[in-house]
Amino acid sequence: MGDVTGDDPYLWLEEVEGEAALAWVAERNAETADALSADPGFDPLKKRLREVLDASDRIPYTVRRGPHLYNFWRDAEHVRGLWRRTTLEQYRKDAPEWDVLLDLDALADAEGEKWVWDGARVRRPDHDLALVRLSRDGGDAVVVREFDLETRRFVEDGFRLPEAKTRIGWIDADTVFVGTDTGPGSLTDSGYPRQVCRWRRGTPVADAELVFEAGQEDVSAWGQHDSTPGFERDFVGRSLDFFRSETHLLRPDGTLVRLDVPDDALAYAHRRHLIVTLKSEWLGRPTGSLLAFDFDAFLAGDRTPEVLFTPDERTALAGHAWTRGHLILETLRDVSTRIEVLTPAPGGGWTREPLVGVPELSAVSVVDTDPDVSDEYFLDVSGFLQSSALYRGRIGGDTETLKQAPDRFDTAGLAVRQHFATSRDGTRVPYFVIGPDHAATGPGPTLLYGYGGFEVSLTPYYGAVTGRAWLEQGGTYVIANIRGGGEYGPDWHQAALRAERPRAFEDFAAVAEDLVARGITTPAALGAAGGSNGGLLMGAMLTRYPELFGAVVAQVPLLDMTRFHKLLAGASWIAEYGDPDVEADLPHLLDLSPYHRLEADRTYPPVLLMTSTRDDRVHPGHARKTAARLRELGHPVLFHENTGGGHAGAGDNEQAAHNSALMYTFLRRHLT
């Protein structure tokens, strides 16, 4: 193990805007530009990727708010984007007429800020006002401004907040729930709101009525108003850590009634129901179950559930969404989506039936519903080699194809297969292979992607950028569904928590070895890529299994596991990894930490580290320090830090195309 266990010689690179740190970044960026941007294939590739990202015939996905369908749109002409809306009648047309509400390019030019859209909360049921969230160059922190949807202007003396990791939502036309930075004591150690206040129009936010407060070491606090007619209720709660929380009903007199469910369960009210997703066993029901209770009866002490979903060893809950009278249930069976419609019966019990036929190895997701008004749903269907189609339907009624995206890359000779690798402890790990028939072509350049954390599932999707940059060029793309994710439910995630994180690393390595054993690739032709927590995975591959790979790319990575909790939002991830300040946790975190595992006398594959100065979630210091350490030890490393873009690494399509072109140029150069 490396010798960076005491004083860290590269702490100065954690000064995000430090003069010396930024000078070092500029030098590394120049080296990477010389090595990759100057490649004769770079500019043509970037141009083709920009065409995909800016294409005018992309599907403009929408959300319904009353009679309108809202969309946020970027293209070559509107780099920062347009917030706009239309009607369903217009949306059915090939070229709908859009009502532009806010032009972010014009706003950015007028105010001299690199605004990045972070969404808007439209007030229900009148849909007349919105709370617009704007990020400076892509960070998680936002400014909030009230917007009038009729005049298409910001409300001059409306709700307005300076930059912070704010949580805000409507109660009524003149009142919101808000949590923001109002000075000492208002934020948690993770940098998120600690307090929930009821803020009335025309008053200073500092004078807002405090209705709930979380602990300093909690992750965050939140408040929410349920405006469903006949079921108007207020809720507040706190996130104890990334996976545990408490939810309280806030009564009109200010008293709190805690929803008495396990603190690792997800619980919310919908009309007369309390819906609970289990992350551990409860009431005799297994982890991963979905339960429904009568809300009022539950508060009175009744704990008799109606079981909406029970997992098995191959099937897990992926999500669910309400229409006016039905629940659309999304499940994964060996990482392939299935959709059912559940309907509550007036006298109790639920009926269920399939919604639509779902193609094998495809992804189906509910894009939007309008649970207050109708049984309308919007459904996206795609696959690795199947461009997206957007369907609209009504439960029990007809379905129409609203939009069909064109194919963006040549799929001739390509196929999708699913295989299973056997991990070190005997666990069966699924993975998808997208590429040519290797029995005919022999081993070839292959890119293996993974994440393995926070119960995030990697499901099939149509990746136009990967298709153009990699698959069309003869490469094979592989997605590994390793432990730490949610592909098989909470147990699959919890198997790689904290000191068990190496199980995720072993799973990924097992997939790499299986790819070679099947003749799909060779170690020299196998690349690995991942971002954020997946960047930690890449650091593990680099330092634990360097012989398995010909190149590694880590994007906005987490790499110093002894200091992550002191940097930006890192304290919120202690439940996932452990606490470096706890004596019992430090040994396994030191063992997990790629930054501390680097050694001079090991041979590592070439590595590209990518981050963003404006990433206020995973600190750019992780990638900076690791690049510096690799350079010090004489190992091959390239480093690129985008000055904007936040945790996404890119704030617009130009930056996104540039970053992708860098990555695929690097991989093409090294994988043979």
Q: CB-based burial of residue 510 (10 Å sphere; 0-12 exposed, 13-18 middle, 19+ buried)?
A: buried
| In contact, 568 and 14? CB cutoff 8 Å | no
| In contact, 121 and 131? CB cutoff 8 Å | yes
Tokens standing for 302?
């009744």
The C-alpha angle with vertex 13 and arms to 11 and 17, in degrees rounded to 5, equals 125
Q: How would you classify the pairing of strands 82-86 and 68-73? A: antiparallel
Active site annotation includes 532: yes
Alpha helices in 34-162 (DSSP H): 42-54, 88-91, 104-111
Residues 467, 469, 473, 474, Cα dihedral to 10°:
-50
Please, how many CA atoms are within 13 Å of residue 640, restricted to the half-sphere of its CB?
25
Tokens standing for 405?
């995206």
Using alpha carbons, list the distances in angstroms from residue 634 to 516, 551, 621, 627.
29, 16, 20, 11
Calpha distance 346→335 (Å, rounded)? 34
Calpha distance 2→542 (Å, rounded)? 14
Residues 28, 31, 37, 38, Cα dihedral to 10°:
170
Strand positions, DSSP E, 551-669: 551-555, 607-612, 637-642
Calpha distance 646→612 (Å, rounded)? 6
Please name every residue paired with 196 in a beta bridge, in sequence order, or none if there are none. Answer: 212
Q: At what angle do helices 19-32 and 621-632 cross, to 10 degrees?
A: 70
* Options 362, 423, 532, 572, the catalytic residue: 532
| In contact, 555 and 610? CB cutoff 8 Å | yes
Q: How many CB atoms lie within 10 A of CB 526?
A: 27
- Nearest by Cα to 78 from 95, 53, 42, 61: 53
Calpha distance 655→672 (Å, rounded)? 28
Q: How would you classify the pairing of strands 386-394 and 399-404? A: antiparallel
Calpha distance 26→39 (Å, rounded)? 19
| In contact, 52 and 464? CB cutoff 8 Å | yes
Alpha helices in 64-192 (DSSP H): 88-91, 104-111
| In contact, 523 and 551? CB cutoff 8 Å | no
* Options 248, 647, 658, 670, the catalytic residue: 647
Look at residue 249 and give its three-state secondary structure.
Answer: strand
Catalytic (active-site) positions: 532, 647
